[in-house]
Structure formats: C-alpha cells, structure tokens
Amino acid sequence: MSNSNGSKMRRQEKEKQILLAAEKVFAEAGFGGATMQLIADVSGLPKANIHYYFSTKEDLYRRVVSNIFDIWLQAAEAFDESSGPAEGIGGYIDAKMEISRRHPMGSKVWASEVMHGAPVIQDYLEDVLVSWTEGRIEVIQHWIDDGLMAQTNPRHLLYMIWSTTQHYADFQHQIETLNGGRPLDDAEWQDAKANVRGIILRGLGIDETG
Amino acid sequence: MSNSNGSKMRRQEKEKQILLAAEKVFAEAGFGGATMQLIADVSGLPKANIHYYFSTKEDLYRRVVSNIFDIWLQAAEAFDESSGPAEGIGGYIDAKMEISRRHPMGSKVWASEVMHGAPVIQDYLEDVLVSWTEGRIEVIQHWIDDGLMAQTNPRHLLYMIWSTTQHYADFQHQIETLNGGRPLDDAEWQDAKANVRGIILRGLGIDETG
DNA sequence: GCACTACTTGACCATTTGGTCAAGAAATTT
DNA sequence: AAATTTCTTGACCAAATGGTCAAGTAGTGC
C-alpha cells in the first residue's frame, strides 16, 4: 500500500525509539560514560541496528542534544506573546519549570554538554542562543526603561531564571534525596513553582497579579 | 618522565598534585569520559604512579568529590555567624559566588556526580547534606516567624541560592560564550553578584543594608 | 514471479581502558 | 653501610568499547 513515505514513517518511529533510549542513557551516564551497547539494550535493538540509523555515537548524541534545544526554545514564546513583565517573565518561569518536570533527562544532557565545554553544540550556542538572548535582553530592558520593573541587569536575570528552573531537572536526584527519597509530588511542584516565580517577581518589583 | 622537583615532594603534596589534575580532567570529561592516562599526563606523572597513590579511578574520584564538598560546606559559616537574614543569606550568597569563581571545576564535578544519580557520594547526600539543610531551614523559618523576611518555603529558597550561584561555575562555558567569548572580568563578577543578591533579598523583603 | 532496495543482526576487529606487576631507584632507619 | 621501607615506572593484560561487515530477511515496484 502506501508508499513513498511509508518506509520513511517507519524510519522516523525507529529513530525516535532509539533517540529516547539514547537520551536516557546519555543523561544517566554522560557522553563518555554512555555505551552504544547500553543504548542498544535500553532500546531493545541489536547494537549493529543502532549503527544503521546513526552512524556514530557522536551523531546520535548530536541529535539528542539538538532535540532538547528545540524544546528549550519553545518556552521562549512566553516572552514574545506577553503584554508585560508579569506575564512575560512569570510565564517564562512557569514554562521552564514545566519543561524541567517533563523533560528532566533532556535538561541533564544539555547541562552535561555545556559543562564539558559544549564540544558538540558550540555553534548552537554562538548562533541561536546568543541572538535569542540578545533579543530577550532588549525586551527586558524596555520594561525597565518603561518603569514596569526594577533596575536589573537583564542578562543576569536570564541566568537566574535558567539556573533556578533547570536546577529542578539537573539536580533532581539531590532534591529527591532531600525530599526523603521521594520525587516531588504535584503539590510540591506547585510550591516550588510559586516560590521561584514569587521571589524573582518580587525581587524585580513586579506585581504578580498583573 | 620525571618531575622537576619530585624528589622533595612528600606524600600529601603529591596527592594534592594528582587531585588537582584529576579535578580538572573529571570536570572537563565527566567520570566516564575521564581516563587515568589523561590524568597522568595532566599531572605529569606516569599512570602507574597515579595508581600507587590512588588504587582505583573511583577512589581518586571519591577524593575529588569529597574535597569539593568540604569547600562547599565552608560557605555555610555565613549562616551560623550571622545576626539576621540580610547578613546570613546575603553573606551565604556572596560566599557561594566566590566559590563558583575560584573553584568552578569542583562545582562541575559535583554537578556531574549528582546529575548522574550520585553513585559515589549518595551517603554524603543522605547524611551530611540532609542534616545541614534541615538545620538551615530551621534558622530561616525562625527569621520568617520573627517577621524578618517574607513568607517563603525555606527549602526552595536554599535550592534557589544553590542554583543561581553554582550556575556561574557549572555553566561557565555558556556564560563566556554569551559574554562575547570572554570570561567575566572583575566588574562583571561584581555585577553578577549584586544582581543575584539583590533580586533574592528584595524577593524576600529583606533590607539589603541591614 | 523477479529485481531491487531497505532493514536486521551475529560475528568480528582494532583500539583503548582500568588496573597489575616486578624490577629497580630513593629515602629512611638501624 | 647495611637493611628496610617507600616510591617510581615501563611493560603488560584481560575486558570493554566504538565501529564494521557480510549474509540474510523483509518489504516494494515492475
């Protein structure tokens, strides 16, 4: 039956299956500690089959990191569609907290990659991330100039948002240990989110209700 | 190859030399990516000599992580010797920022370890870190109860301080890339520190001047 | 049916890895 | 200075690793 993209579909699904396993293994062991054999075992495929879809370990890794980067950038939309700092910054924090909750492994892979000097995605950093950051800094600076929030260095504000939100993904294990060995439940996530958003917005002199 | 001043070295000094090289290599490559050979090369000693002082790679790694943990805990003194939240929390932030600046590699090794599930230092987390955290939570809760700062979940406040300050070490490379490829200079570090401290203290309703 | 392409996989290989060892060189003690 | 302990190091090893390959099995188009 179909056809020209039938095989393509199957390929995409298989790649997704492998990428999911790879994300898990890379997150738990780092690039160096991850082995193709383990990725094969987790994905339930023979190692040689993995190499059919991704010729090298670095190839596979690059795809994993770039997937995460895309998800990351989606949270940026909170900024663009916002009417002001309460909605823009508050929404951005919420979105990033949600990503930390739903994609903790992706965040870990990203963190590992950057911590080791971004050998694979340096071009992403220099290109997309730099320009995205510059754009957001401008928006924040405008809000400051318009008296909608306190005087702050927008760049360091962004770092603060990134670090606080991603901390819940990257240091998930530490947080669980300090939470009696159990993951945060729904109420605790809400509490975490409210605390992060509350302190930052108050610290910026922004009225949280609008 | 022999060491220029090797003959005079005592055991402790030699161990320190190895630990310094190991910290660098573990930070840059992670536990899995680090090789004993590379640590040997960086420290300027034959590999077999490294194994004389540290029997296994994990042994060496454990020592590196535990050293970092000690430095980490030193910053805690800001809390204990403080007269109130402005001095206690502000001083703690300053101390942790200074550690991120002076020991970025240590912070990275710690982050890597925790991110990968803390396979080596889980006992530290469950023992020392848990009890230290509980103690600080109590102190903060007292400050809140005494009306010296806003209502906040002390636990999540600690996470915020940890994440924001350590971000400057763990994501050093990303920050440098976003800083035009150059490390933060002294003024920029002061700016970073002032921003972190300022937003958090204001977010807690603490008068920064005392 | 037949040819052709896409996928699967066990067996295999060159290289690298953490770790060992034994023989010797320095210190240190007696 | 002899004996003993501490350190140094090149050579070596078993195991693991990323990656290859050829022989086979589907699936697709004619």
CATH number at residue A106: 1.10.357.10
Looking at per-residue pLDDT, the higher value among A6 and A47 belongs to A47
My answer on whether A15 and A116 are in the same domain is: no
My answer on whether A27 and A103 are in the same domain is: no
A210 pLDDT band, cuts 50/70/90, is low
In a domain, B208, yes or no: no
In a domain, A208, yes or no: no
Q: What is the DSSP letter of B126?
A: I
My answer on whether B179 and B79 are in the same domain is: yes
Q: What is the dihedral of CA B164, A95, A192, B143, to 10 degrees?
A: 50
| ipTM for the predicted complex | 0.91
Q: Which residues of B108-136 are buried (b: 16+ CB within 10 A; e: fewer)?
A: bbbbbbbbbebebbeebbeeebbeebeeb
In a domain, B1, yes or no: no
Query: In 10 A of CB B78, how many CB atoms?
Result: 18
My answer on whether B70 and B106 are in the same domain is: yes
To which H or E segment does residue B179 belong?
none
Nearest chain A residue to B32, by CA: A33
Number of residues assigned to chain B = 210
What is the rounded distance in angstroms from the CA atom of residue A102 to the CA atom of residue A10? Answer: 26
A51-105 residue pLDDT tens: 999 999 999 999 999 998 889 888 888 787 778 999 999 999 999 999 999 999 9
My answer on whether A73 and A44 are in the same domain is: no
**Three-state secondary-structure class, residue A193:** helix
Q: What is the dihedral of CA B169, B170, B172, B174, to 10 degrees?
A: -160
Beta carbons of A203 and B205 less than 8 Å apart: no
In a domain, A1, yes or no: no
Query: In 10 A of CB A187, how many CB atoms?
Result: 8
My answer on whether B149 and B88 are in the same domain is: yes
CATH number at residue A46: 1.10.10.60
Contacts of A58 in chain B (CB under 8 A): none
Of A66, A36, A68, the C-alpha closest to A53 is A36
Residue B5 pLDDT: 38
Give the number of domains in chain A: 2
Block residue for tokens 């809400």: A190
Which residue, among B144, B156, B190, B196, would best test binding to A if mutated, counting the most A CBs under 10 Å from its CB? B156
My answer on whether B177 and B92 are in the same domain is: yes
My answer on whether B35 and B123 are in the same domain is: no
In a domain, A178, yes or no: yes
Q: What is the pLDDT along chain B (210 residues), one digit of tens a residue?
A: 333 333 445 788 999 999 999 999 999 999 999 999 999 999 999 999 999 999 999 999 999 999 998 998 888 887 887 789 999 999 999 999 999 999 999 999 999 999 999 998 898 899 999 999 999 999 999 999 999 999 999 999 999 999 999 999 999 999 999 999 999 999 999 999 999 999 999 999 998 775
My answer on whether B23 and B116 are in the same domain is: no
Nearest chain A residue to B189, by CA: A156
Residue B83 pLDDT: 83
My answer on whether A166 and A92 are in the same domain is: yes
In a domain, B17, yes or no: yes
Cβ within 7 A of any strand C atom:
A 7, 10-11, 14, 45-49, 51-53; B 7, 34-37, 47-48, 51, 55-58
Q: What is the dihedral of CA B105, B109, B112, B115, to 10 degrees?
A: -120
Distance from CA of A16 to the nearest CA of B (A): 23
Which residue, among A149, A174, A196, would best test binding to B if mutated, counting the most B CBs under 10 Å from its CB? A174
Exposed (0-12), middle (13-18) or buried (19+): which is B151, by Cβ within 10 Å? exposed
Residue A8 pLDDT: 62
Q: What angle do CA A154, A157, A158 make, to 5 degrees?
A: 90
For A110-158, the DSSP string reads HHHHHHTT-TTTHHHIIIIIHHHHHHHHHHHHHHHHTTSS----HHHHH
My answer on whether A79 and A106 are in the same domain is: yes
What is the rounded distance in angstroms from the CA atom of residue A175 to the CA atom of residue B47? Answer: 37
In a domain, A159, yes or no: yes
Its domain, for residue A47, covers 6-55
In a domain, A60, yes or no: no
Nearest chain A residue to B156, by CA: A192
My answer on whether B114 and B185 are in the same domain is: yes
Q: Distance between terminal CA atoms of chain A? A: 56
